[in-house]
């Protein structure tokens, strides 16, 4: 793969606040037209990393490019070609949808501004609400406005920081349909999310915990590299069974999924031996494929907290 195919190509990117390292020597490459999922718990460094990519923060160490521009020395150029959607709704609630988009278009000096605003309204299905104040919108419509604002200057890269937090399932699905349509047109997307179903819709994934990159690859590569064995158990009295299981050697996690427990460990034979010691006629056991949530909980359990 040539360097021209990489929209993001960084090595050893590091950020410290005082004595705390919040992003620790991250290497990441993202291809043109790719939807790259960036996952991890709150406080893992995802937002800080994104802000370094789009020129809002300068790395303390490391090097690389975003859209061909140096992330340390060409931050102004990067900002002109990136659309950044923050976690918190950041547009003017006392302006209408149209007024907000017009304001963003002015900031980017978009040619033929009126036409660009109208096209943006139509593309995101906002034209019938164009005169509604942003502060009166539901979470899903605020999300559409934020995405329209990110796209109005025709960026080459979208950086989306937990864009679907707090919106309903229908709005989430419509948002992801739009993201896949944009990627098919050649736009590159780096998106952070806590939703495992959303992570599975990405072309590739990276998992960050306490500033460290723990795994990356396609969904199948991430699942395979985890080498996690998982069993599902159903039946009565699952809560006391979970307590008993957590005390057994070879059992690394026990997680409730509705009326089922997922019991996992990275040493398959030890896990099976532990399960055999508590099996009884009242419960049904079966080995299952480890899911993304099982893998990420396992990664989280072995990660070292950088709070101190």
Q: What digits encode the pLDDT tens for the residues 67-126?
A: 999 999 999 999 999 999 988 888 999 999 999 999 999 999 999 999 999 999 998 999
Token digits of residue 259: 């009326």
Tally of CB atoms within 10 A around 287: 14
DSSP 19: T
Given this structure, which CATH class describes domain 3-81+155-221?
alpha beta
Q: How far is CA 156 from CA 21, 52, 66, in A?
A: 30, 17, 10
Cα Rg of the chain (Å, integer): 22
Residues of the chain with CATH 3.30.70.860: 229-289
CB neighbour class for 133 (10 Å; exposed up to 12, middle 13-18, buried from 19): middle
In this prediction, residue 168 carries a pLDDT of 85
pLDDT at 194: 84
In the numeric block, the tokens 């989280």 are attached to 300
- Residue 4 has a pLDDT of 65
**HEC profile of 133-198:** EHHHCCHHHHHHHHHHHHHCCCCCEEEEECCCCCCCHHHHHHHHHHHHHHHHCCCEEEEECCCHHH
Alpha-carbon distance of 119 to 79, in angstroms, equals 22
Per the DSSP assignment, residues forming a β-bridge with 85 are: 160
Joined together, the tokens standing for residue 213 give: 């990159």
pLDDT, tens only, 276-293 = 999 999 999 999 999 998
In the three-class reduction of DSSP (H, G, I as helix; E, B as strand; rest coil), residue 60 is classed as coil
How far is C-alpha 168 from the geometric centre of its chain's CA atoms?
17
Q: Look up residue 17 and give its two tokens.
A: 């606040």
Q: 13-67 pLDDT, tens per residue?
A: 999 999 999 999 999 999 999 999 999 888 889 999 999 999 999 999 999 999 9
CA distance 299 to 308: 20
169-210 pLDDT tens trace: 888 898 899 999 999 999 999 999 888 889 999 999 999 999
229-289: CATH, from 2.70.98.60, 3.30.2230.10, 3.30.70.860, 2.60.40.3500? 3.30.70.860
Q: Find, among 180, 184, 186, the residue nearest to 200 by Cα.
A: 180
- Nearest CA among 150, 147, 153 for reference residue 172: 147
Residues of the chain with CATH 3.40.50.300: 3-81+155-221
Q: By C-alpha distance, which of 84, 86, 77, 90 is closest to 150?
A: 84
Under DSSP, the state recorded for 126 is: -
Pairing of strands 82-85, 35-39: unpaired
Rounded Cα distance, 34 and 202, in Å? 8
């Amino acid at each position: 793969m040539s360097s021209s195919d990489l929209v993001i190509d960084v090595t050893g990117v590091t950020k410290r606040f005082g004595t705390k390292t919040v992003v620790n020597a991250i290497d990441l490459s993202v291809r043109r037209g790719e939807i790259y999922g960036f996952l991890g718990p709150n406080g893992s460094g995802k937002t800080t990393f994104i802000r370094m990519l789009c020129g809002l923060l300068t790395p303390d160490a490391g090097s690389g490019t975003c859209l061909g521009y140096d992330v340390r020395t060409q931050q102004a150029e990067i900002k002109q070609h990136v659309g950044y959607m923050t976690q918190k709704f950041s547009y003017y609630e006392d302006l209408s949808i149209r007024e907000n988009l017009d304001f963003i278009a002015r900031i980017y000096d978009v040619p033929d501004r009126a036409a660009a605003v109208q096209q943006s309204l139509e593309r995101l299905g906002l034209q019938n609400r164009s005169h509604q104040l942003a502060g009166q919108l539901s979470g899903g419509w605020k999300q559409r406005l934020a995405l329209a604002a990110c796209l109005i200057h025709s960026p080459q890269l979208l950086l989306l920081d937990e864009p679907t937090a707090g919106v309903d399932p229908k709005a989430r699905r419509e948002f992801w349909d739009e993201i896949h349509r944009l990627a098919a047109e050649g736009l590159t997307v780096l998106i952070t999310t806590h939703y495992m179903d959303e992570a599975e819709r990405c072309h590739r994934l990276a998992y960050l915990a306490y500033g460290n990159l723990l795994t990356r690859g396609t969904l199948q590569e991430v699942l395979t590299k985890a080498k996690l064995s998982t069993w599902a158990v159903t039946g009565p009295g699952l809560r006391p069974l979970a307590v008993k299981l957590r005390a057994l050697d070879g059992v690394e996690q026990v997680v409730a999924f509705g009326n089922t427990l997922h019991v996992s460990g990275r040493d398959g034979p030890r896990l099976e031996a532990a399960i055999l010691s508590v099996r009884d006629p009242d419960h049904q056991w079966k080995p299952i494929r480890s899911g993304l949530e099982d893998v990420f909980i396992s990664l989280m359990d072995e990660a070292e907290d950088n709070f101190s």
